[in-house]
Amino acid sequence: MERCAGTSGHVLFLNWRDTRNPEGGGSEVYVERIAAELVARGFRATIFCAAHSQAPAEEVNDGGVRLVRRGGRHTVYLWAALCYVAGALGFGPLSGRRGGRPEVLVDVCNGLPFLAPLWARRPVVKLIHHVHREQWPVVLPPWAARFGWWVESSFAVRIYRRCRYVTVSEATRRELATLGVPPEQVSVVHNGTPELPRTDAQRAPFPLLVTLNRLVPHKRVEVALRAVAALGEELPQLRLVVAGQGWWESHLRELAAELEIAERVEFRGFVTEEEKAALLASAWVALTPSLKEGWGLTIVEAGSAGTPTVAFRDAGGVAEAVVDGRTGLLADDIDDYVAKVRTLLWEHEIRQGMGVEARQHAASFTWQAAGGRFAALVAGHGAPRPVQRRGEPSYLVP
């Protein structure tokens, strides 16, 4: 892989989690893959995130990205500011002697931002996967939900008014405009499709559904369970695998028992990349019933295995990850969702044709292209110009 010896820009990503965090998800995959692409182009990249028991306080991952972990779920924001200021004074994990002062900060907003423009003396790029409008009241009590939404929709918009925004879908770009963020201030850098390990797994000989999610309320795995309950009588062999972990699992298990489908549902828990590849290759249909997604990384992962997905039309970026009627189906409500799942389970030729197109669609999104776009954007905000890899197009900003 080509590198540019003269490029030495340092980009600091502020993200609440990393992929080794038990609660990590698609946002963390995006950040680490983009950071690795920057490293491949000659930048230095550091990710500052919350500490947890599954990883050391500091390390360099396989992509050459340095990870610094401090604080916890709620205190990581304060730790980021403290470590940055300490670094400016010449000590701490973000000091010049510990890897160089950053030229650009990428402030990743997963609901709550790091508010880097208030304390950083460098250009700040705000990365937001999706607006959390519908999710606040699902995961927090009313007073906290109102406060969180005020921070995201009003306070943060003012704080970042002079910053370049990056998001992963046109849907989020449009929604940011409703909050007062000018569309020309927002660049779209799509996810790449993660390359799954090779697998010898074949399609299951019985109707098999799969959903890959963190088990939290806004992922709405309940919809998948209700689909199984509604279709079980006409499809006696129907099974569902729920892959993922989270604090909402006990509720989901209770619901499966109430719906009398416990014997049809397997809660697989955390799955390795190899297990995920085999699971997606054997499933007939993948289910993404989330309330909102910035993009829907598991949708294109399923597509790369030739498996179509059913998702909700109004769930943000999923309407771009799924090409409705070609690579999967988009539903308007829960009853329509069940009907769409029924269609794909019964119509073999339609399902097979969508699987072929889903594979082609997934292949059109690469991390190399996303990395090139992001590198050009970062270079336009104070870091040295990146190397342009052979055969890669020039990327204009925005």
Distance from C-alpha of 382 to C-alpha of 110, rounded to nearest angstrom: 24
Distance from C-alpha of 14 to C-alpha of 114, rounded to nearest angstrom: 7
Same domain for 287 and 160, yes or no, is no
The answer to whether the beta carbons of residues 140 and 148 sit under 8 Å apart is yes
Residue length of the chain: 398
Parent domain of 236: 208-363
201 part of a folded domain: no
Per the structure block, which two tokens stand in for 312? 């909700």
393 part of a folded domain: no
One-letter amino acid for residue 58 of the chain: E
pLDDT in tens, 172-202: 999 999 999 999 999 999 999 888 899 999 9
Same domain for 216 and 122, yes or no, is no
397 part of a folded domain: no
Q: Count of CB atoms within 10 A of residue 233's CB?
A: 8
2 part of a folded domain: no
Cross-sheet strand order for the sheet of 265-269:
265-269, 239-243, 208-212, 285-288, 309-312, 328-331
pLDDT in tens, 122-145: 999 999 998 988 888 887 899 999
Q: Count of CB atoms within 10 A of residue 50's CB?
A: 21
Q: What angle do CA 370, 102, 158 make, to 5 degrees?
A: 75
Same domain for 125 and 90, yes or no, is yes
Distance from C-alpha of 224 to C-alpha of 18, rounded to nearest angstrom: 27
The answer to whether the beta carbons of residues 287 and 215 sit under 8 Å apart is no
pLDDT at 308: 98
198 part of a folded domain: no
- Structural domain tally of the chain? 2
Closest residue by Cα to residue 303 from 249, 354, 256, 349 = 354
391 part of a folded domain: no
The whole-chain average pLDDT of the chain stands at 90
pLDDT at 88: 78
pLDDT at 73: 87
The answer to whether the beta carbons of residues 30 and 129 sit under 8 Å apart is yes
Same domain for 352 and 370, yes or no, is no
Q: Count of CB atoms within 10 A of residue 110's CB?
A: 17
pLDDT at 296: 86
Q: CA torsion sign, 250 to 77 to 59 to 196? A: positive
Same domain for 213 and 84, yes or no, is no
Residue segments in the chain with a per-residue pLDDT below the cut of 70: 1-8, 97-100, 382-398
Same domain for 267 and 313, yes or no, is yes
Is residue 205 reached through a cis peptide bond, with omega within 30 degrees of 0 on the bond before it?
Answer: no
Same domain for 311 and 371, yes or no, is no
Separation in Å, CA 109 to CA 7, 32, 226:
27, 15, 32
